[in-house]
């Protein structure tokens, strides 16, 4: 039974790692990053709720008159 020749594995693995490194470096170098990030301007929006415009009273069960 023939044995597996592993003499070229080191060169294959090293060349694969080097190729992956170069490909990733080329991909990363094409990305555009902002040089100076600026904060986003946010505007405060006032919501109008129906319960803000009228007065309501909430009765708790303990403050109601006792039934006779």
Does some domain include residue 31? yes
Domain count, the chain: 1
Does some domain include residue 27? yes
pLDDT digits (tens, 9 = 90+) for 10-59: 999 999 999 999 999 999 999 888 788 788 887 777 767 666 555 656 66
Does some domain include residue 67? no
pTM: 0.45
Distance of CA 9 to CAs 21, 22, 28, 52, Å? 18, 20, 28, 75
Does some domain include residue 16? yes
Does some domain include residue 66? no
Does some domain include residue 68? no
Sign of CA dihedral 28, 31, 32, 33: negative
Residue 37 is part of which domain span? 6-59
pLDDT band at 4 (very low <50, low <70, confident <90, very high): confident
């Amino acid at each position: 039974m023939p044995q597996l020749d592993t003499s070229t594995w080191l060169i294959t693995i090293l060349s694969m790692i080097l190729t992956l490194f170069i490909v990733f470096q080329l991909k990363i170098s094409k990305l555009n990053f902002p040089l100076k990030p600026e904060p986003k301007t946010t505007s405060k929006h006032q919501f109008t709720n129906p319960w803000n415009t009228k007065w309501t009273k909430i009765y708790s069960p303990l403050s109601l008159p006792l039934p006779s």
